[in-house]
Amino acid sequence: MISEEIYAKLQPIIKAYLPEDVSAENINPDSDLTRELNINSAHLIDIILDIEDAFNIEFKNEDMEKLRNVNDAILLIQQKISA
């Protein structure tokens, strides 16, 4: 799966957990999930669970530590899919 396809699937997942003061237009590949998009840690876990379901993959704790921005998520998903 190419990164554009992954990004297209990720956007609605992330959008569902954005706080009211952050627009979906702010989501881009370089967006920091917690700093720029203001996603709290509880919602970050929900996003990870939704990603696992959507892509039929499983993240380990060390994977989650690498998850800072949208690009990180795309790269991790690509690694998990190709493994």
Q: pTM of the predicted model, to two decimals?
A: 0.91
DSSP secondary structure of the chain: --HHHHHHHHHHHHHTT--TTS-GGG--TT-BTTTTS---HHHHHHHHHHHHHHHT----HHHHHT--BHHHHHHHHHHHHH-
Q: Span 3-82: which CATH code?
A: 1.10.1200.10
Tens-binned pLDDT, residue by residue, of the chain (83 aa): 799 999 999 999 999 999 999 999 999 999 999 999 999 999 999 999 999 999 999 999 999 888 999 999 999 999 999 98
